Amino acid sequence: MSEPQAHMTDVAELARRFVSFAEVDCRGYSPLYESLSLQIAEDTELLGLLARARPGQRRPVLFLAAANYLGGMDDVDRFRAFCFDNRDALIEIIETRATQTNEVGRSAVLLPVLLRPPEPLALVEVGASAGLNLLFDRYGYDYGDGRRLGTGQPVLRCTSALVPDRFPHVASRVGIDREPVDVHNDEAVRWLRACVFADQAERVERLEQAVAVARRDPPALVAGDALDTLPAVAAGIPDDAHLVVFHTWVVTYFLRDERAAFFALLDEMGGQRDLTWISAEAPGVVPGFDVDRGPMTLVGEITYRAGRKTATALGVCHPHGAWLNSTPV
């Protein structure tokens, strides 16, 4: 394939990604990002700009986060011109950063699921970012119809078929991330904020509130690759606590070989001690669940008890935790 043909193929694939992002992630949720994504999908020059980035970095959400970080959402009528005026800075951010959607709203989905394993829990989050979801029991929850739990801030709202009536007992909590976010670093928090959809003031507010909680009582964060650091972290957990490894929209970014190695590692660990593996990823990312592939997030639980592995699909949810349906489709 010639270089021009390859370029057009890349542009066509990017257009498809932006349309999918608009229709699946943004429709009925973020009018601004839906509109921008559909406009970008039809703009071969803007798509060509993103095509300059490495293939693994060509993600709609990363492109929009980079533009938001630079101030491109301040005047959306000039969005296209802004992108070209700042093309070099835009591409540099896309090339050097990863999406850090430390979406605290996912805690509303995690909470009822974390009541299933034996307690006390020893939590290990893979891809923890700033570790905000490790602090789930510091927040308040509103599941609708007067069903509330906790008195902390932020208050996380979720329409859910699974409604918790208490918080689990947590013995320890550790986050693993290749580049952990220091909540005391204003520049790092600025990037977290940029990864929130620009038209969602409520999400920005709850991020700020969760960051304030983490600044007062930061969770332990370990820098490193999960394949290298998870065994050592798990080895430090005493036998009287139940190990729970969880991740939300993380493994989808792993390369194919990394996924296989990560899954094999958890199987190996599960053969050595009882543990629970909780995932919230796109259907098909984590193997073992008999659920049709679809556009939403599959919440799955894999348990290892006396070496026996059992996979249970618990439901599907909104990627940012706005709702949880306990009946997978």
Please give the radius of gyration of the chain, using alpha carbons only, rounded to the nearest integer.
Answer: 20
pLDDT, tens only, 294-328: 668 999 999 999 999 999 999 999 889 999 997 65
User: Would residue 60 be called left, alpha or beta, if left means φ above 0 and alpha means ψ between -120 and 50 degrees?
Assistant: alpha
Report the C-alpha gap between 251 and 28 in whole angstroms.
26
**C-alpha pair distances (Å), 112 with each of 27, 116, 122, 173, 176:** 27, 7, 16, 17, 22
For residue 302, the Cα-to-chain-centroid distance in whole angstroms is 19
Q: At what angle do helices 31-41 and 60-70 cross, to 10 degrees?
A: 110
Task: Tell me, yes or no, if the pTM score tops 0.85.
Answer: yes
Q: Is the pLDDT of residue 3 over 70?
A: no
pLDDT band at 25 (very low <50, low <70, confident <90, very high): confident
**pLDDT reported for residue 33:** 97
CB-CB contact of 286 with 279 (8 Å):
yes
| Longest Cα–Cα distance in the chain | 61
As given in the structure block, the two tokens for residue 258 are: 């990394």
pLDDT band at 91 (very low <50, low <70, confident <90, very high): very high
**pLDDT reported for residue 219:** 95
User: Would residue 198 be called left, alpha or beta, if left means φ above 0 and alpha means ψ between -120 and 50 degrees?
Assistant: alpha
For residue 196, the Cα-to-chain-centroid distance in whole angstroms is 11
Q: What is the set of domains in the chain, with CATH numbers?
A: 3-96 (no CATH), 104-325 (3.40.50)
Average pLDDT of the segment spanning 50-58: 92
The residues, any chain, with a CB within 8 Å of residue 169's CB and separated by 6 or more, are 119, 120, 121
As given in the structure block, the two tokens for residue 310 are: 């059992």
Query: Which residue's structure tokens are 């949880």?
Result: 324
**pLDDT reported for residue 261:** 98
Amino acid at 322: A
For residue 315, the Cα-to-chain-centroid distance in whole angstroms is 17
Helix H segments across 100-244? 107-113, 186-194, 201-216, 226-235
Pairing outcome for strands 140-142 and 220-223 = unpaired
Considering only CA atoms, which of 196, 197, 190 is closest in space to residue 70? 190
For the chain, the average pLDDT equals 93
The residues, any chain, with a CB within 8 Å of residue 274's CB and separated by 6 or more, are 118, 242, 243, 303, 304, 305, 306
pLDDT, tens only, 121-175: 999 999 999 999 999 999 999 999 999 999 999 999 999 989 999 999 999 999 9
**pLDDT reported for residue 8:** 62
User: Would residue 323 be called left, alpha or beta, if left means φ above 0 and alpha means ψ between -120 and 50 degrees?
Assistant: beta
Following DSSP, what letter does each residue of 9-48 receive, concatenated?
HHHHHHHHHHHHIIIIIITTT-HHHHHHHHHHHT-HHHHH
